[in-house]
Amino acid sequence: MPTAFEHDVLIIGTGAAGLSLALHLPSHYRIALLSKADLNQGSTFWAQGGMAAVLHDRDTINSHVEDTLAAGAGLCQREAVEFTVRNSRHCVEWLVQQGVDFDLRDDQLDAEGREFHLTMEGGHSHRRIIHAADRTGRAISEVLTERALERDNIEVFTHRVAVDLVCDGGRCRGAYVLDRRSEHVDLFQARAVVLATGGASKAYLYTSNPDGASGDGIAMAWRAGCRVANLEFNQFHPTCLYHPRAKSFLISEALRGEGAKLRLPDGTRFMPAFDERAELAPRDVVARAIDHEMKRLGLDCVFLDISHQPREFLESHFPTIMERCAEFGIDITSEPIPVVPAAHYTCGGVIVDTAGRTDVPGLYAIGETSCTGLHGANRMASNSLLECIVYAESAAADIAASIDALPVPTLAPAWDESQVTDSDEDVVISHNWDELRRFMWDYVGIVRTNKRLQRALHRVTLLQAEIAEYYGNYKVGNDLLELRNLAMVAELMIRCAIERKESRGLHYTLDYPDTLPVAENTVLTPSNSPLQG
């Protein structure tokens, strides 16, 4: 039978953002932490490269800020960038205190007896990427998960998928949540609700993201009345492993930071012809260059070559990539890696302030779900983990400062499934899922046109009508909920792309190849927004 739960804070998502926020909240708050699957299954766990932070005397806060602003193609909010970068060293220190073992240099020590090994990535003017080999996300995720499980006030619920938010009296007061094991929808109520569900890159046919990246938080926030912004900016990582059995495996940008070269099948380098920074150009430039060469020559992939580095260097810096490539018969010490671009990061999202507050009182959004203004039109490499930790702490501080004055929510109605039946037509879900991801890849991909976007909008409108009919008649399940959310976010992505009459950052359209002199955010406002009144 469905159950009603009551907590002080409900956190939906167990990546770096959600876990950090839970750990930053005072220990006397009762916290519910919801995970879509088992713990350590989300995007944080699979993040390879590292986290950007100003940690060396040769680096400066201003340099990191200016690099981020440049990568964001004029659309970053300087306040958000400065806020994030100023807190970068503090966040690294906090992660170290939690037990994260970042790689150290052994040839030079700082005053505390250590100096972190820092690497270089595209768009950065200094080595400022702190990492744990090529398993940085895994190191952070496992340590923060361990710390959360140690806390008596944090109750972890796995295999739970949020259906929709519960709003009453102008505030968010909880969520309806599907228990994937019992197949019942339970009610979770809290005085503050935090969306930390990640991005929406599963809207695309090819992606580096795990299966759960279906835009759940963005879709739920929109349905609850929150504005969204800049969803036309979908970052395509230039280098995912190209192999029929290598599902969603990312080849870290850190390889290019250590000298890896992109080559055509005949061995010719091509990046210098596209940008003076060559392989270290921002991701949108590199992804478009690869896309151009693949289409020009009819290639299935291009190749990333780091075979000039010694085996010992590769084994110590990129063990995961070496092992994964070896599984498919690729020896990166002696041959190049076949790679293709893939949808990687959702740069837009739910509009928030520096405390993670959305338009709906009581509702917060952090991490990839949110649009803080940090990324602008293109996320600079390794700023995302930093954003998760910084905004988790600021949102926790805001919740702690305000929550005691808020009343405990009155009991909301239980989820009503008395009028629905079990479906015997699940093929509809899988068919629509495949169609959505394919037309998003073909029509709303790396290069766009007005005609392609209009076709995509037409298709997603028809698709949503089918999904709504199905949703209204059958019991909800994980696949249906993900499809519903992906279709919603896909529509928002398409509408944002249609609104932008220029090419900027990650949004490149053949109909408007020039960049306008003034950068403006693309903001969509739902009809039930509290700002409409």
CATH number at residue 339: 3.90.700.10
For residue range 404-419, list pLDDT tens digits in order: 888 777 778 888 776 6
Task: State residue 111's pLDDT score.
Answer: 44
Of 160, 283, 357, 437, the active-site residue reads 283
**Domain of residue 153, residue span:** 15-233+347-533
Cβ neighbour number for residue 184 with a 10 Å cutoff:
16
pTM value > 0.85: yes
In this structure, are 119 and 268 located in the same domain? no
In this structure, are 285 and 145 located in the same domain? no
Structural contact between residues 282 and 122, judged by C-beta atoms closer than 8 angstroms: yes
Which residue in the block uniquely carries the two structure tokens 């659309």?
Answer: 75
In this structure, are 220 and 242 located in the same domain? no
Q: Using the 3D structure, point to which of 343, 378, 395 is the last residue of a domain.
A: 343
Helix (H, G, I), strand (E, B) or coil at 352: coil
In this structure, are 227 and 371 located in the same domain? yes
In this structure, are 451 and 380 located in the same domain? yes
Helix (H) or strand (E) segment spanning residue 395: helix 383-402
Judge whether 204 lies within some domain.
yes
Please tell me the number of Cα atoms within 13 Å of 315 on its side-chain side.
3
Judge whether 59 lies within some domain.
yes
Task: State residue 113's pLDDT score.
Answer: 46
Structural contact between residues 462 and 435, judged by C-beta atoms closer than 8 angstroms: no
Judge whether 523 lies within some domain.
yes
Judge whether 2 lies within some domain.
no
In this structure, are 184 and 296 located in the same domain? no
For residue range 303-352, list pLDDT tens digits in order: 999 999 999 999 999 999 999 999 999 999 999 999 999 999 999 999 99
Judge whether 3 lies within some domain.
no
In this structure, are 318 and 362 located in the same domain? no
Structural contact between residues 32 and 10, judged by C-beta atoms closer than 8 angstroms: yes
Judge whether 4 lies within some domain.
no
Q: What one-character-per-residue DSSP string does 37-86 give?
A: SSSS-SHHHH--S-EE---STT--HHHHHHHHHHHTTT-S-HHHHHHHHH
Structural contact between residues 57 and 503, judged by C-beta atoms closer than 8 angstroms: no
Q: What is the CATH number of the domain that holds 107?
A: 3.50.50.60
Q: In the predicted model, is pLDDT for residue 448 greater than 50? A: yes
Q: For the purposes of burial, counting CB atoms within 10 Å of the CB of 421, is it exposed (0-12), middle (13-18) or buried (19 or more)? A: exposed
Helix (H, G, I), strand (E, B) or coil at 169: coil
Q: In the predicted model, is pLDDT for residue 477 greater than 80? A: yes
In this structure, are 49 and 184 located in the same domain? yes
Judge whether 5 lies within some domain.
no
Q: Using the 3D structure, point to which of 319, 343, 367 is the last residue of a domain.
A: 343
For residue range 346-375, list pLDDT tens digits in order: 999 999 999 999 999 999 999 999 999 999
In this structure, are 196 and 293 located in the same domain? no
Cβ neighbour number for residue 199 with a 10 Å cutoff:
29
In this structure, are 32 and 136 located in the same domain? yes
Both tokens assigned to 517: 């002199």
Helices (H), 124-225: 136-150, 216-224
Please give the average per-residue pLDDT across 207-225, as a whole number. 93
For residue range 133-192, list pLDDT tens digits in order: 778 888 999 999 999 999 999 999 999 999 999 998 889 999 999 999 999 999 999 999
- Catalytic: 277? no
Residue 177, beta-bridge partner list: 162, 186
Q: Using the 3D structure, point to which of 343, 358, 382 is the last residue of a domain.
A: 343
In this structure, are 243 and 258 located in the same domain? yes
Q: How many domains does the chain have?
A: 2
Q: In the predicted model, is pLDDT for residue 59 greater than 70? A: yes
Judge whether 9 lies within some domain.
no
Instruction: Select from 490, 523, 455, 529 the least CA-distant residue to 219.
Output: 490
For residue range 104-138, list pLDDT tens digits in order: 875 545 444 458 888 888 788 989 999 887 788 88
Q: In the predicted model, is pLDDT for residue 31 greater than 90? A: yes
Structural contact between residues 135 and 11, judged by C-beta atoms closer than 8 angstroms: no
In this structure, are 319 and 421 located in the same domain? no
Q: Where are the beta strands (DSSP E) in 185-230?
A: 185-195, 228-229
